[in-house]
Structure 1
Amino acid sequence: MYTLNFDQQAFLETYWQKQPLVIKAAFKDFADPIAADELAGLACEEEIASRIILTKQNNWEIIQGPIEDYAPFGEDNWQLLVQAVNHWYPDSQPLVDVFRFIPDWRFDDLMVSFATPGGGVGPHIDNYDVFLLQGEGKRRWKVGPIGNYSPRGGDTHTALIDDFEPIIDVVLEAGDMLYIPPGFPHRGETIETALSYSIGFRAPSQQELISGIADHLIDTNSGLKRFTSTQEPTEPGLLPLTQQEGMLELLRELLTKPEYYQPVLGQLLSQNRFELDLCEPDGEHTSEELLEALEDGAEIQRIGGLKVIRIEGDSQKRLFINGEIYCLDEVEADTLTTLANQISFDSDTALALCKQPDVAEYFLWLLDQGYAYLA
């Protein structure tokens, strides 16, 4: 349904995480996967992250969702943002799928915006990669160079900054796309009522990695080795360099052991920032029910936004799923690859895989957790 109209490999080599790029007609004959009223319906839901941004002269006001009444906002100078639409609106999944030339662990969410003329977000800097895809309507985007920018009003807790001199100034129409790496300031303004799609990709920070390692050590009651030394300083109030380095060596030792860092990375990077739309089962599925459904032509479909990750060089045969670990000790490596990469399994593929008992149990587990459903 959706096909990217540019050389993805050349993009990765030249632009990815390096410099912004305007891609005119990135999607030919682009059709919006969601209508404005359907987006508004999602914004009514308590569990879905949404917000209204009001443009007020040279400032912006944020109203957090759920949003049920749009009458007070008038006909211009505001926009609605709904996060993780791919979790809640299955028809948006084909659009997300075309961006899987970038690995799933990086993918954050599909945010969809409905904006009235004059609506937009002020100049700001994001710490993640984003593709800004234009649907119906027109929006003007400006992008500035990386530099030292002051936070707006001195507020270090906001992404808003003072204005910048643009290196890109472009009007996007349906099917056009703008790629912006982390650190490049940008701002958007709506020219005519528009739907826009933000496909975001995020990597972990040092803070998140260290926190993840600490949580894993506590959960597994590991990392208990203490610092020892054979020589003490002559001054009672001094921590010498040799002892500082010895303590840091304890951390380096942990970071060189795959049994410590691989589960941390797998669990951390398979978790989602936004709530998933779990398919709560009526009861536990049985293998007989599963095989009967597959023989009748059912397919197994993962829910939107679910991350299933395998780690290259892993000492164990396992998958990391939404922060959980699922071991598949008896499956072949190519089967593990298939289970990680495929989002849906048609009846023939699923039946063939179910000949391996561990895979059949895995599918049952996905269904019972609400991570997949029979379509």
Structure 2
Amino acid sequence: MYQLTFDKAEFLKTTWQKKPVILKGAFKNFQDPISADELAGLAFEEEVSSRIVVTKPEGWDVIHGPFEDYSQYGEQHWQLLVQAVNHWYPESQPMVEAFRFIPDWRFDDLMVSFATPNGGVGPHIDNYDVFIIQGEGRRRWRVGDLGQYQQRDNNPNSPLIEDFVPIIDDILETGDILYIPPGFPHCGETLTTAISYSMGFRAPSQQEVLTELADYFIDNNEGQQRFTSTQEPEMAGVVPTSHQQGIMALLASLANDPQAYQTMLGKLLSKNRFELDVCEIDAEMDAETLIDALEHGAQLLRIGGLKVLCLEGDNQSRLFVNGEMMTMPNSQTDILNTLTQQVSFTAQQATDLISQSIDCVDYFVSMLKQGYYYLSE
């Protein structure tokens, strides 16, 4: 249903993380997977992250959800934004699947916005890649070039910047996509009542990686190697360049040792920023119950937004699921790849995997108990 019309290999080669572009008619015969009323219903839920941005002559007001009533906002100059819709609304999953030519570890979430005429969030810069898909309605988008931009009103905490000179200034209509790499300023203006979809792809910062690495070494009492030297300075108060470099080389040695970083990296990259819609846990679930369900034709489905990853060249046979590690000592690489790649399994597919590796029974039972998978007829 959601098939991209552009050449994905060419896009990755020439455009991805290089330059913004509008892809006209990127989805043919596009249909909104969610309606405005259904989006408003999600924003009513306490667990769902949502906000309303009201455009005013002097700026923007941001009100955080949940929301019960929208009548106070009128018919113009506001926008509702709901994060991680793919976690809570399974019907959005087919659209998410269309973007899996980008690795799962980069995928952040699907944000959906409902905007009234003249609604928008103002000029800003994101630190992640985003595909903005236009659903119902029309929106004008302006995108500027990379550069140094002043934050709005000289406020260092403001997410907004002062205006910019656009290198893209165009109108998105249903099925069009605007791709924006990190660092490019952009601003959207709603021309008619519209629904838009933002597919965000994020990579961890140096700060996040170092923090995670430090926590991992502290928790596991690792990283105990200390700096040693063969030459000392003549002046006691001077730290020689060789000592500075030698101390920092301790970090470089960890970065070049897969055994030191792989567990940390797998956990970090499989974590979700937003809450998952975890299924109710079945206390009776065990291997016998699972196999009986499969024999009666049940399917296994992964909940929306769950990241199941494996690391190429890993020193162990294992998976990383939502920030946790699961060892799979009896499973070959092809089985691990199948478990990461597929988000649903027919009864026959699951049975075949179980017959190939006993680990798969433990994996599926564990996922069901944690509410990360569920059984469907």
Question: How many percent of aligned residue pairs carry the same amino acid?
Answer: 60
Amino acid at match of 1:103: P
Give the aligned partner of residue 264 of structure 1: 264
Give the aligned partner of residue 138 of structure 2: 138
Give the aligned partner of residue 45 of structure 2: 45
Amino acid at match of 2:177: M
Give the aligned partner of residue 274 of structure 1: 274
Alignment pair present for 1:307 and 2:335:
no
Alignment pair present for 1:117 and 2:117:
yes
Offset of 1:310 from its aligned partner? Answer: 0.7
Alignment pair present for 1:189 and 2:189:
yes
1:237-265: CA deviation from partner (whole Å, max 9, x where unpaired): 22221211121121111111111111121
Give the aligned partner of residue 74 of structure 1: 74
Matches of 1:261 and 1:357, distance apart in 2:
28
Give the aligned partner of residue 369 of structure 2: 368
Give the aligned partner of residue 23 of structure 2: 23
Task: Give the length in aligned residue pairs.
Answer: 375
Give the aligned partner of residue 204 of structure 2: 204
Matches of 2:269 and 2:111, distance apart in 1:
19
Matches of 2:317 and 2:359, distance apart in 1:
11
Matches of 2:284 and 2:221, distance apart in 1:
32
Amino acid at match of 2:363: Y
Give the aligned partner of residue 95 of structure 1: 95
Offset of 1:232 from its aligned partner? Answer: 3.0
| SS of equivalent to 1:42 | helix
Moved more, 235-244 or 81-90: 235-244
In structure 1, list runs of 5 or more residues that go unmatched.
none
Give the aligned partner of residue 166 of structure 2: 166
1:144-189: CA deviation from partner (whole Å, max 9, x where unpaired): 1111111111122233111011111111111111111111110001
Alignment pair present for 1:238 and 2:226:
no
| SS of equivalent to 1:123 | coil
Give the aligned partner of residue 283 of structure 2: 283
Query: What's the C-alpha RMSD, in Å, of the aligned pairs?
Result: 1.0
Give the aligned partner of residue 62 of structure 1: 62
Give the aligned partner of residue 148 of structure 1: 148
Checking the alignment, whether the CA contact within 8 Å between 2:142 and 2:187 is kept in structure 1 is yes
Matches of 1:250 and 1:26, distance apart in 2:
47
Matches of 1:121 and 1:284, distance apart in 2:
48
Matches of 1:91 and 1:180, distance apart in 2:
25
1:2-48: CA deviation from partner (whole Å, max 9, x where unpaired): 11111111111111000111111111111100010110111111111
Matches of 2:13 and 2:309, distance apart in 1:
24
| SS of equivalent to 2:195 | strand
Amino acid at match of 2:189: E
TM-score, normalised to structure 1, is 0.98
1:304-362: CA deviation from partner (whole Å, max 9, x where unpaired): 00001111110111111111001101112111110111111111100111112111111
In structure 2, list runs of 5 or more residues that go unmatched.
none
Matches of 2:159 and 2:73, distance apart in 1:
24
Alignment pair present for 1:342 and 2:342:
yes
Checking the alignment, whether the CA contact within 8 Å between 2:282 and 2:368 is kept in structure 1 is no
TM-score, normalised to structure 2, is 0.98
Matches of 1:10 and 1:253, distance apart in 2:
36
Offset of 1:280 from its aligned partner? Answer: 2.3
Matches of 2:284 and 2:209, distance apart in 1:
35
Matches of 2:358 and 2:103, distance apart in 1:
28
1:41-92: CA deviation from partner (whole Å, max 9, x where unpaired): 1111111110000000141110011111111111100000000000000110
Amino acid at match of 1:370: G
Amino acid at match of 2:290: L
Amino acid at match of 1:93: Q
Matches of 1:242 and 1:27, distance apart in 2:
57
Matches of 1:361 and 1:33, distance apart in 2:
34
Matches of 1:214 and 1:351, distance apart in 2:
41
Offset of 1:234 from its aligned partner? Answer: 3.0
Question: Would you identify which runs of 4 or more consecutive aligned residues in structure 1 move more than 6 Å?
Answer: none
Give the aligned partner of residue 178 of structure 1: 178
Matches of 2:305 and 2:284, distance apart in 1:
23
1:186-216: CA deviation from partner (whole Å, max 9, x where unpaired): 0001001011000010011111111111111
1:90-148: CA deviation from partner (whole Å, max 9, x where unpaired): 11011100000001000000000000001001111111100000111111101111111
Matches of 2:103 and 2:282, distance apart in 1:
33
Checking the alignment, whether the CA contact within 8 Å between 2:319 and 2:326 is kept in structure 1 is yes
Moved more, 227-236 or 133-142: 227-236
Offset of 1:284 from its aligned partner? Answer: 4.0
Matches of 1:263 and 1:156, distance apart in 2:
36
Moved more, 78-87 or 158-167: 158-167
